[in-house]
Structure 1
Amino acid sequence: MSACNERIARDVSTAALTYTVTGRGVGSVATEIQAGKHRFLVDEPSALAGDDAAPSPVEYALGALVSCQVIVFRLYAQSLGLTIDEIEITAEGDLDARKLFGIDESGRAGFHDVRVKVDIDGPNTVEEYENLRRVVDAHCPVLDIFSNPVPTSGSLA
């Protein structure tokens, strides 16, 4: 059991986490994000009214999914006694921008399909890695966000 697992098992209150991220508009449509001590820029390509100064929000969303999957694959491989020599994950999402621009209100504003491809190199069997993939998919927080509705509320300050 990792030190993190032991800490949470000893005191379940340490499992309740709240993340806060703040964004401030800059440039044409870009946003400067503050997440804890980290800052990063989010923008849109010029075809979507941006300056193409940084990845778009949906690219960051796919990046969040990919990075969470990599982390959870590594954590569970270790706990299951499997070896990952190399891992590369690609997420591809299909989005129809007509809803974004108010052209067609019938579709979704977000992705209507996301495909995740996992490429693992290591000494274990395909079956062991497939079992690992099932475990990861059941425990990956960002995949859960993509797969299930999350109650979300908004307000003007």
Structure 2
Amino acid sequence: MTETTTATDLASIRADRLTGAGEFWAAKIAKSADNARLTYKAAGVAVGSVASRISAGKHQFLVDEPAGLAGDDAAASPVEYALGAIISCQVVVYRLYAQQLGLVIDELTIEAEGDLDVRGLFGIDESVRPGFTDVRLTVNIAGPGTQEEYEELGRLVETRCPVQDLFANLTPVSAVVAKV
């Protein structure tokens, strides 16, 4: 099988999956709007110096910090995973809406940078927030569409990406601490 055949097959498989998912969810939601509500779960256990072993569904992954932040540098940090989360969510949403709009994406790469001031993390300056102060995405798309078509797709993705929404909007978080 040649690279062209493989790429064509992959594009066809992806198109079928994206179309099928859209049709499935449209039908499910048409029966009841309650069917649109999903709850995701993950659990973590502390390991190593400051690392966590995370379980999410049938998947497990390690999260750690670099040595400068008390870690063993055995895995990406929580904020690196956050950047990875926005990138991977954007990939899904770019593919989904490109399919709906009939746009072809031959290649898609996304880079994310986030600025964080550790004075907030370490409580050195209470006026400094502990999270990112700015996140920048660079999206590179190759395909037969025009620059304007891909820019319009990008604007649509910005309004539909669940993880970008987490970064852009306040999301309530609550915690219960229990001694066991």
One fold, TM greater than 0.5? yes
**TM-score computed with the length of structure 1 as normaliser:** 0.96
**Alpha-carbon distance in 2 for matches of 1:19, 1:3:** 19
Q: Which residue of 2 aligns with 1:38?
A: 59
- Separation in structure 1 between the aligned mates of residue 159 and residue 176 of structure 2, nearest angstrom: 32
Task: Indicate the residue corresponding to 2:50 in structure 1.
Answer: 29
Residue 79 (structure 1) aligned to one of 79, 100, 122: 100
SS of the residue 2:119 aligns to: coil
Map 1:76-115 → 2, pairs under 5 A: 76-115=97-136
Report the counterpart of residue 147 of structure 1 in structure 2.
Answer: 168
Which amino acid is the alignment partner of residue 158 of structure 2? D
Q: Distance in 1 between matches of 2:134 and 2:88?
A: 19
Larger radius of gyration: 2
Large movers: runs of 4+ above 3 Å: none
Q: CA deviation at 1:5?
A: 2.9
Q: Match for 2:160: what amino acid?
A: H
Q: d(CA) in 2 for partners of 1:146 and 1:98?
A: 20
User: Deviation at 1:104?
Assistant: 1.4
How far residue 155 of structure 1 moved from its aligned partner, in angstroms, is 1.4
Provide Cα deviations, 1:85-133, integer angstroms capped at 9, x if missing partner.
0000001000001111121111110000100110000000000000000
Q: Distance in 2 between matches of 1:61 and 1:118?
A: 17
Pairing 1:55–2:55 present = no
TM-score by length of 2: 0.84
User: What percent of counterpart residues are identical?
Assistant: 62
Equivalent in the alignment of 2:149 = 128
* Structure 2: gaps spanning 5 or more residues: 1-21
- Matched residue count: 157
Unaligned runs of 5+ in 1: none
Shift of 1:17: 0.5
Q: Which one-letter code corresponds to 1:98 in the other structure?
A: R
RMSD: 1.0
The 10-residue stretch of structure 1 (53-62 or 2-11) with the greater mean CA deviation from structure 2: 2-11
Q: Distance in 2 between matches of 1:31 and 1:80?
A: 40
More moved, 13-22 vs 110-119 = 13-22
